[in-house]
Amino acid sequence: MGTLTVETSSVRVAIVDDHEAVRLGFAGMCSSSDLELVGEAATVREIISKINGLECQVVVMDLSLADGSLVTENVSQLVAAGSAVLIYSIADKANLMRMAIRAGAVAIVPKSRPMAYLAEIIRLAADGAIINNPETSAMIDADANFKDANLSAREREVLSFYASGMSLKQVATQLEIKQSSAKEHIDRVRVKYARLGREAGTKVDLYRLAIEDGLISGEHL
């Protein structure tokens, strides 16, 4: 009788960094771990083109890129494409890091950290976990403007329909997106609220939060 093996799915990840050496080092780390590199590029525009149509759970991105693009726009574009965004930087620009978190980045990892640490944070991001590593927590705690969940426009749309009583399938149909994408948006909404200590584990919690934040009137459910 043969040995039963259990297959574990790899985490599909991409990297955006304008330093080729960083991209090569990251590719080497992926090749020796459970991370599957689905794309690498020097700009966000290029990586979006490369991963178009592919499932990419996490994009690791440098804070500042040589093309002069804004970190907020870069993060927003990647989140809209369906990926969790992890900032991998020398972490010397606190204001830009706070802007990245506000735009939807899930974590900050300094380039001084070992690759094994980066890989672990990537796995957490892929699982939709709340990441409270010291660098990310420091940015949130120091940001006086972090008093609300800073939901993206799409997250607010999905939450408003879902909290109003629609199923994820109905939300997806309404917004002409995949059901899996609708679920990812709700998962991220929950993470953002949880970071603020606002309970968002159930649909009733989300309904209450949507009312509190003015997304729905409270006449539903």
CATH number at 45 reads 3.40.50.2300
**pLDDT, tens digit (0-9, with 9 covering 90-100), for 92-149:** 778 888 888 888 899 999 999 999 999 999 999 998 887 888 888 777 666 555 556 7
At residue 151 the predicted structure's pLDDT band, cuts being 50, 70 and 90, is confident
Residue 4 lies in a domain: no
Q: Do 122 and 43 share a structural domain? A: yes
Domain range for residue 93?
11-141
Evaluate if pTM is beyond 0.75. no
Based on the domain organization, do 135 and 158 belong to the same domain? no
Lateral strand order in the sheet of 58-61: 35-41, 11-16, 58-61, 84-89, 107-110
Total of domains in the chain:
2
Q: What proportion of the chain, given as a percentage, has pLDDT over 90?
A: 54
Of 119, 141, 163, the position where a domain reaches its end is 141
Q: Write down which residue in 141, 168, 189 finishes a domain.
A: 141
Q: Where among 141, 167, 194 does a domain terminate?
A: 141
Answer yes or no: is 148 within a domain.
no
Stated length of the chain: 221
Position 68 in a domain: yes
Q: Among residues 202, 203, 185, which one has the least CA distance to residue 149? A: 185
**Residues 183-195: pLDDT tens digits?**
999 998 998 888 7
Q: Decide: 131 and 101 in contact? Cβ < 8 Å.
A: no
Cβ(71)–Cβ(63) below 8 Å:
yes
